[in-house]
Amino acid sequence: MDYKKLFETEIRTDLIKKRRSEGKKVLGMVCCHVPFELLHAAGISPIRLRATGKKDMGAADPYFVPQSCDFAKTIYQNLCDGVYELDGLVSSDGCDVPVQIASAWKRHLEGIGREEFIYDVSAPRVITDASQGYFKYELEDLRDALEEFSGNKITDEKLKHSIELYNEARRLVRQVYDLHLEDDPVITGEDTLKITLAATELPIEEYIELLKAFLEDAKNFEPQGKGRVRVMLVGSSLDDPSFIKLIEDCGCLVVCDLNSFGIRFLGEPMDYDENDPLGSLAKHYLGRASCPRMMDGSDRIHEYIIDTAAEFQVDGVIIERLKHCEKWQNEAFVIGDLLKSNNIQYIEVERQQPLVGPAQIELRVEAFKEMLETLKES
Ligand code: SF4
C-alpha cells in the first residue's frame, strides 16, 4: 500500500471538496478538546483546522487584536481564502484566541448571507467530578445538535465503534513514536509530525491502513539519527514540519514532544465505560495533558515532560512558543525551573508562523547542540 500521502504537509483542500461532492458533511474543528469520535459516529468528516501555509492576513487582521498568535489568525485567513470549504465549524475554547475564529467566521457568513453549522463547546479548565459532569452535558448537547445537522442518530454502539477506531490509530501512532526509542531511530521528528498531522484530515479508517503499511516497511529502514543529540520539543500548537526540519538540520533529532499536533493530538488509547461512552469521552478529552489552558494542569504537563524525557533518553529540551502565545509564555517560565531542578538542559525559542528569521533560531539551536555534545563527551 502506498502510504506517501501520510507525508503530505499542505492542507488537503481538494480531498475535502471531493468528500463534500460525494455528499459527506465535513466540519472544521478549532483546537482539540472536542472528541473526533462524536463527529465520526454521526457520519460527519472531522477536520482539525491548521495554520499551514504562507498568508497575507488581510481578512484576519480586523478580527484579531495585533497581539494575537499567528496560529489562530492564519486558520481564519485559510477559511476566508477558501483553503477550507466546509459545512461548518465546531469550536472549543482552547484559549481566548481561537475562540474568535468561530465568532468572526459567523459574522463573515452573515455578511455574505450564507449559513453554516457553527457550534461552540465550552471545555472546563479544571478537572473535578463536577467539571467532568458539566463537560458531559456539553457533549450531550453537541451530540443532539450533530444528530439534527447530519440526520443521523449517534447511538452508543456507533460511538463505541468510533472510539475503537480512534484507539487503534492511537496505538499505531504510539508505535511510530516507539521507533524513536532506538539509539539510532529510523524516522525523523519532521516525518513524525507529518504523520500526526495527516490524522487531522484523512479519514480515520484510511489513516489506520496507511500507518500499518508504513510501520511494516519501517522495519527495513536505515537509521536516521546516527550520532545526533536527542531533543524533546515542548510548546505552542506546532503544525509546521519545517520548524522541526530546521532543528534537525542543525544536527539534533526530535525524538518526542508535547505538542497539540504531535502525540498529544490523538493521545493515549482511552479506556471507556461500555455503559457510558460519552461520559468516558468527556473524561478522556478533559484529562489529557495537552496544553496549559487547564488551571490545574501544570502538574500533569510537568510529569509528562519529565517521564517522557527519561523514556526517550533526551539530551535536552527545546521549549518553542509562538509569538504572542501567553499560555506557553507563562508555562515556559515554570517549565524552565522544572527542567533546571531535574538537571535537564533546555533552551527557549520564540517563533512565528510562517517561520520568520530562521537564521537566528539556527544559531541558537546549533549552540545548544554543541553544548549537549560537549556534555555527552564529558
Ligand atoms: S495556546 Fe497559544 S498557540 Fe494556541 S491558540 Fe492560544 S495563543 Fe495561539
CB distance 55 to 78 below 8 Å? yes
pLDDT greater than 70 at residue 120: yes
Ligand 1 centroid vs 318 CA: distance in angstroms? 17
Separation between Cα atoms, residue 271 and residue 358, nearest integer Å: 42
354 preceded by cis ω (within 30°)? yes
pLDDT greater than 80 at residue 154: yes
Separation between Cα atoms, residue 286 and residue 126, nearest integer Å: 8
- Evaluate: CB of 95 within 6 angstroms of ligand 1: yes
Strand locations in 161-283 (E): 229-235, 252-258
Topology (CATH) of 9-154: Rossmann fold (3.40.50)
* pLDDT tens sequence across 9-45: 899 999 999 999 999 999 999 988 899 999 999 999 9
Residue 361 burial by Cβ neighbours in a 10 Å radius (0-12, 13-18, 19+)? buried
Can you give the pTM of this predicted structure? 0.95
- Evaluate: CB of 91 within 6 angstroms of ligand 1: no
Q: What is the mean pLDDT of residues 326-338?
A: 94
pLDDT greater than 80 at residue 55: no
pLDDT of residue 97: 85
Ligand 1 centroid vs 328 CA: distance in angstroms? 8
Q: What is the mean pLDDT of residues 87-107?
A: 91
Separation between Cα atoms, residue 336 and residue 332, nearest integer Å: 6
* pLDDT tens sequence across 179-220: 999 999 999 999 999 999 999 999 999 999 999 999 999 999
* Inter-CA distances, 32 with 2, 83, 274, 289, 362, Å: 28, 20, 24, 12, 30
- Residue 338 neighbours by CB distance under 10 Å: 18
pLDDT of residue 54: 58
pLDDT of residue 290: 67
CB distance 321 to 348 below 8 Å? yes
Which residue has its alpha carbon closest to ligand 1 atom 6?
95
Higher pLDDT, 94 or 173: 173
pLDDT of residue 59: 84
Question: Where are the chain's structural domains?
Answer: 9-154
- Determine the residue of 76, 236, 243 to mutate for testing ligand 1's pocket, defined as the one with the most ligand atoms within 8 A of the Cβ atom: 236
Ligand 1 centroid vs 258 CA: distance in angstroms? 14
- Evaluate: CB of 98 within 6 angstroms of ligand 1: yes
- Evaluate: CB of 71 within 6 angstroms of ligand 1: yes
Nearest of 219, 247, 216, 265 to residue 320 by alpha carbon: 247
In sequence order, the 6+-apart residues with CB closer than 8 A to the CB of 55 are 74, 77, 78, 81, 354
* pLDDT tens sequence across 219-238: 999 988 677 999 999 999 99
pLDDT greater than 90 at residue 298: no
Instruction: For residue 112, give the 3-state DSSP assignment.
Output: coil
Which residue has its alpha carbon closest to ligand 1 atom 8?
69
Ligand 1 centroid vs 224 CA: distance in angstroms? 32
Ligand 1 centroid vs 242 CA: distance in angstroms? 19
Nearest of 243, 174, 168, 151 to residue 204 by alpha carbon: 168
List the single range of 188-192, 225-229, 258-262, 281-285 with lowest mean pLDDT: 225-229
- Evaluate: CB of 327 within 6 angstroms of ligand 1: yes
Q: What integer best gives the mean pLDDT of the chain? A: 93
Q: Which residue has the cell 519532521?
A: 190
Ligand 1 centroid vs 351 CA: distance in angstroms? 12
How far, in whole angstroms, is CA 284 from its chain's centroid?
Answer: 15
Nearest of 198, 183, 353 to residue 265 by alpha carbon: 198
Query: If pLDDT is split at 50, 70 and 90, which confidence band does 356 have?
Result: confident
Query: If pLDDT is split at 50, 70 and 90, which confidence band does 275 have?
Result: very high
- Evaluate: CB of 325 within 6 angstroms of ligand 1: yes
- Closest ligand 1 atom to residue 260 Cα is 4
Which residue has its alpha carbon closest to ligand 1 atom 3?
236
Ligand 1 centroid vs 285 CA: distance in angstroms? 18
- Evaluate: CB of 322 within 6 angstroms of ligand 1: yes
CB distance 294 to 125 below 8 Å? yes
Query: How many residues in total does the chain contain?
Result: 378
